[in-house]
Structure 1
């Protein structure tokens, strides 16, 4: 007897409309000249859309209009820097402001062509389909603005150092061969003497610091040049800009330390960070004059990120200014690592791994800082240094930098979130553990093949 076919039409479920979970939601489409705002639909279901300018009085009027519409939460795209003034005004007014990634919005299907952007944002946000980007508190954002601008000026200063070196190379004055760093004591003394008119290589070599490895005779051989006037003028101007940038950076350092100290809790005012565990790190911090900043960061946060191998004071400042001191937004260290774009990018198709390309969006300021920190561990006699060298030997330096940066991110999360202090076991202990793991793996493989493994008699 043939089976009776089921009526598929009768078994089909009716599609249900999206449920509104946030009825008091609004969406804002940002622009350089005007902002379009969509509030909750009116009682008759008609759209509730208004247009505002971008001046401060208009932004204040926008905030007043949202209050009149009884809006409690707002969604906006992170368009350029146009969102910053409006975000700060709405945040101070007490609105829940969600800064949404434009890519996330584009991935939501069902967009109609007869709906403007602000209405689409309002609809998605009211249905709970948008997720706000991570943004630290207002105090940390202020610190972030200072440190970002300082790091930009530091990068500009590095460019002018290269210009000085180019002018010297064009005159065949190889200061960078005579000393390891032309911005050090000896290098700057030689450059300033050249600007002041000194041309005798022996006199210039006599300006060497007693700690220099090369002798005066070796340095003098590198300081004989052709002294063309156009290159001397370029060198003078580059040095002048370098000095100005150094003064600006010093002003930023003073302002940053003062602001960090203003954020310190009263009970931490008298606390001081313990000295670095290694003499090399203590010497580096003292040489760069970063001890006041390290103490200020410790007083504000209550932890010292520089206790982790590879993390310097500048890196710690970037981490705290970008992420803050509260990691409760990240449920576990895997989500934290993923947010920093340090999770492995494994593309799988039909159950097989396929080559995947890293996109430009996988780079963040924090991940870049951790990558730079990872490169400093290349020759370190620590467990992290041994880990870097093992990965580099097997898969190359680029993978080792990525993997070590990920390891640093995990250690930072454990320290900040759980208070788990970092303890270095040393390179020898790491190599011993790795050798033991290999021995266990090889022994098991040989036993599976029917061999009996016994240690040699001593």
Structure 2
């Protein structure tokens, strides 16, 4: 088998130690020499591993992406040798190999012959930005959980504020909840705290705020509000830090926000997860495949099996799903019209995935060419047909299917051209 790299190492990573298999040319012609050593995962032991690889003149190291344990090993070795982070699914396809030593030897052989592909690991600046955006997303999810818990407390007390107010954490909702915690129990007095359009729903508010809210509910609600305020403060600090870290990519961000549905935070996540350098992805399709937004190719013996999308980048797919939902509600845009047509034929979930892919591939072109998004407009689907006669014939057939008596508008010859 053709040798991709002469001096390689395969690393099986655990929490406490790593097994390293070194494969280099042997003194005997046409043979390979293997040596396996064990190192602890402490920094001092990993530095000894690095010195050993330097001494052996290793040019390529492959390791399995095991949880978070691969990070210290990868970050120490990437400075002195090319490192490949390998998807475990691409390694464990051969049965009968399940021990740390055999795994390290198997990884070394796969890397030696170039039989696996490395995963995308962004450079340090992008990694730091990614840590910030992912932590912010986690905090926002935690806040959502706290708001849901607060909603459950209000439901337990018989307070149906969510039936009248769209957002119980809005200005009016927050004032009413704070008044309940402070001891105000009169529904009429609580309803007077409504602001804006909620003032017109005074009668409904009085009914919704009539319940059995007591000091027990007040204690729980106050603790939840404190948690929400603390999370809001943490998210605000992260926003400041992310805004400073995104400065080298400011121009790209300004182009990304021109895509319908993509806001400031979404553009920051797209840059952090993709790395902004599209040289890594040859085509928009490659980026969609890496993100897990394209159909699977599962065919055997002429039969096609399930082609559902695989598990890709959850952080990127999550924010793209939010962008797709927002873009579907936009007015007079190509993406909104495309979502409407796909939802009618394929359902809401498939339409959401398709629109997420459309946004991501648009982002690929924007980051590749450093240009603004150019919307095709909602009329694109009506004007893209190159043959007007064919489109007219199709519309006539649709009207006839609805029961209308429409004469033929074109000749068969014109339709076939």
Partner of 1:365: 315
- Offset at 1:244? 1.6
Partner of 2:205: 219
Q: 2:286 aligns with which of 293, 318, 335?
A: 335
Partner of 1:287: none
SS at match of 2:366: helix
> Structure 1 unaligned runs (5+)?
1-17, 265-296
- Offset at 1:259? 2.9
Q: Judging changes above 3 Å, is the alpha-carbon distance between structure 1 residues 439 and 348 closer, same or farther for their aligned structure 2 residues? A: farther
Partner of 1:314: 265
Partner of 1:207: 193
Partner of 2:415: none
- Offset at 1:109? 8.6
Alignment of 1:123-202 (within 5 A): 123-202=109-188
Partner of 1:34: 17
Q: Judging changes above 3 Å, is the alpha-carbon distance between structure 1 residues 248 and 46 closer, same or farther for their aligned structure 2 residues? A: same
Q: Could you tell me the TM-score, scaled by structure 2's length? A: 0.86
Q: Distance in 2 between matches of 1:113 and 1:240?
A: 49
> Structure 2 unaligned runs (5+)?
398-406, 412-417
- Offset at 1:344? 2.1
Q: Distance in 2 between matches of 1:171 and 1:438?
A: 63
Q: Could you tell me the TM-score, scaled by structure 1's length? A: 0.79
SS at match of 1:214: helix
Q: Judging changes above 3 Å, is the alpha-carbon distance between structure 1 residues 442 and 346 closer, same or farther for their aligned structure 2 residues? A: farther
Q: Judging changes above 3 Å, is the alpha-carbon distance between structure 1 residues 241 and 75 closer, same or farther for their aligned structure 2 residues? A: same
SS at match of 1:161: helix
- Offset at 1:145? 0.8
Q: Distance in 2 between matches of 1:446 and 1:220?
A: 56
Residues 181-234 of structure 1, C-alpha deviation per residue, up to 9 Å, x if partnerless?
111111111111211222222222222222436343432332111123332222
- Offset at 1:362? 4.3
Q: Judging changes above 3 Å, is the alpha-carbon distance between structure 1 residues 71 and 240 closer, same or farther for their aligned structure 2 residues? A: same
Partner of 1:11: none
Q: 1:79 aligns with which of 47, 61, 66?
A: 66
Q: Judging changes above 3 Å, is the alpha-carbon distance between structure 1 residues 21 and 377 closer, same or farther for their aligned structure 2 residues? A: closer
Partner of 1:70: 57
Q: Distance in 2 between matches of 1:437 and 1:108?
A: 53
Q: Judging changes above 3 Å, is the alpha-carbon distance between structure 1 residues 431 and 445 closer, same or farther for their aligned structure 2 residues? A: closer
Contact 1:52/1:59 (<8 A) preserved? yes
Q: Distance in 1 between matches of 2:67 and 2:342?
A: 39
Q: Distance in 2 between matches of 1:200 and 1:339?
A: 56
Moved more, 157-166 or 418-427: 418-427
Q: Judging changes above 3 Å, is the alpha-carbon distance between structure 1 residues 399 and 58 closer, same or farther for their aligned structure 2 residues? A: same
SS at match of 2:11: strand
Q: 2:364 aligns with which of 410, 413, 419?
A: 413
Q: 1:422 aligns with which of 373, 385, 388?
A: 373
Q: Distance in 1 between matches of 2:285 and 2:389?
A: 29
Partner of 2:250: 298
Q: Distance in 2 between matches of 1:413 and 1:334?
A: 9
Q: Judging changes above 3 Å, is the alpha-carbon distance between structure 1 residues 134 and 220 closer, same or farther for their aligned structure 2 residues? A: same
Contact 2:294/2:309 (<8 A) preserved? no
Q: CA RMSD in A?
A: 2.9
Q: Distance in 2 between matches of 1:84 and 1:384?
A: 38
Q: Judging changes above 3 Å, is the alpha-carbon distance between structure 1 residues 187 and 313 closer, same or farther for their aligned structure 2 residues? A: same
Q: Distance in 2 between matches of 1:390 and 1:367?
A: 22
Matched, 1:453 2:409: yes
Q: Distance in 1 between matches of 2:236 and 2:55?
A: 47
- Offset at 1:141? 0.4
Q: Judging changes above 3 Å, is the alpha-carbon distance between structure 1 residues 114 and 401 closer, same or farther for their aligned structure 2 residues? A: closer
- Offset at 1:155? 0.3
Q: 1:50 aligns with which of 18, 37, 50?
A: 37
Contact 1:380/1:386 (<8 A) preserved? no
Q: Distance in 2 between matches of 1:260 and 1:230?
A: 45
Q: Distance in 2 between matches of 1:115 and 1:86?
A: 17
Matched, 1:432 2:388: no
Contact 1:205/1:216 (<8 A) preserved? yes
SS at match of 2:204: helix
